[in-house]
Amino acid sequence: MRQKLCRRLEDLEKISAAAARRIDSRVSADSAIEELREVLPANNFQQEPNESLAETLARFMGISLRELKAQLEELSRGHSQSVRMVGL
């Protein structure tokens, strides 16, 4: 169980780092979406037919859609230092 949690944390840290790089380099939203569409399946996570990409990302992160939206809003305001990508 601990090994699984450590692996998931590593995956989330990679995604968080990739997101930070994308923000820093001002990459378009389209390429960020494409990266998410690649990263999620690479981590054995599939978007369900009845859910949005945002819902899939929130499920992958183990948080609610409301929490994801709040974190994205905070990121957009430039407070990335205070955003907690994982509820630890």
* Domain around 35: 2-82
| 27 occurs within a structural domain | yes
User: Does 28 map to a domain?
Assistant: yes
45/85: higher pLDDT: 45
CA 35 to CA 45: how far, in whole Å?
Answer: 13
Domain assignment present for 45: yes
Count of domains observed in the chain: 1
Residue pLDDT, tens place only, 12-67:
888 877 777 666 555 566 777 888 888 888 888 899 999 999 999 999 989 999 99
pTM for the predicted model, two decimal places: 0.56
Query: Is residue 87, in this structure, part of any structural domain at all?
Result: no
Residue 32 lies in a domain: yes
Give CA separation, 18 vs 32, 39, 49, in Å: 9, 10, 26
Task: Compute the distance between CA of residue 52 and CA of residue 61 in angstroms, rounded to an integer.
Answer: 14
pLDDT at position 56 is 92
Asked whether residue 31 is assigned to any structural domain, the reply reads yes
